[in-house]
Chain A
């Protein structure tokens, strides 16, 4: 199961499915690590969808959709009680 290349140096797209939990646990979850990951992810997205000659509304609406999803996950605990069902 152990691959010749150590898990830590591989990128996400090169991972096999079985190695994914190990990869997630090795990530840097300090605030500095999260900020670094955010910076690393911001520029590819920005240059692909927004910073183009004929950008359209898809660039920011994907960001807003992700924001809505994030907030939904945040409030799921309270929203669980508002489902339409007979017995809560």
Chain B
């Protein structure tokens, strides 16, 4: 049971070949590209959702920030669809791997910081010292602000990894507990099963919320720097 708990997070191989790239590319099949003015129902639904999300997310940005629209929209679509597909039985979720989340978080965060330093150097450097700090505290506060800046990509990646991994692990554990209890006390197993159902609903919400939070934070860092 202990080895099986983490086996679903191992790199997927099939007959010795790593197929993780296929699994990462799989959500792209579920988003066909629109060809016509009036499309089929799937594309129309996705178009409506993307317009709703993009209007809300890009409202706070100025012209320069809105050039990131494609990046932010594809980010939220990718993370949301990958997390939701991971809730299917036996599937592998790429966003449980810290490597992939770091690969998403670090370049995006670095892009926002470098944009800020290139275009508004003085304002970007001014972020390191909040307004109205007492003079003796300045050195320490600059150090603390620098640390908090460099922690941002780590926090982005680890937040996504930990949330999704923890949810999956909890579902495995509670599912295993339900199965084990079924032969002993059926009533307690029923309670555990209800807990599992509630947890699954929570996981659906978490999948979407985590995508949203990731994208929102990137957009916030962008707003600070444009």
Contact = CB atoms under 8 A, between A and B. Distances in A.
A75 B91 CA distance: 9
A2 to B, nearest CB: 31
Contacts of A53: 40
Given A46-B32, A53-B40, A68-B91, A81 B4 contact: yes
A51 B12 CA distance: 32
A79 B172 CA distance: 13
Given A55-B40, A67-B85, A67-B88, A75 B32 contact: no
Contact of B41 (A54, A81, A82): A54
B29 A59 contact: no
A67 B91 contact: yes
A7 interface: no
A78 interface: yes
Contacts of A54: 41
A63 B26 CA distance: 10
A59 B32 CA distance: 12
A78 B7 contact: yes
Contact of A50 (B14, B40, B92): B40
A52 interface: yes
Given A63-B29, A78-B7, A82-B4, A71 B88 contact: yes
A47 B54 CA distance: 29
Interface of B: 4, 7-8, 12, 14, 19, 26, 29-30, 32, 40-42, 85, 88-92
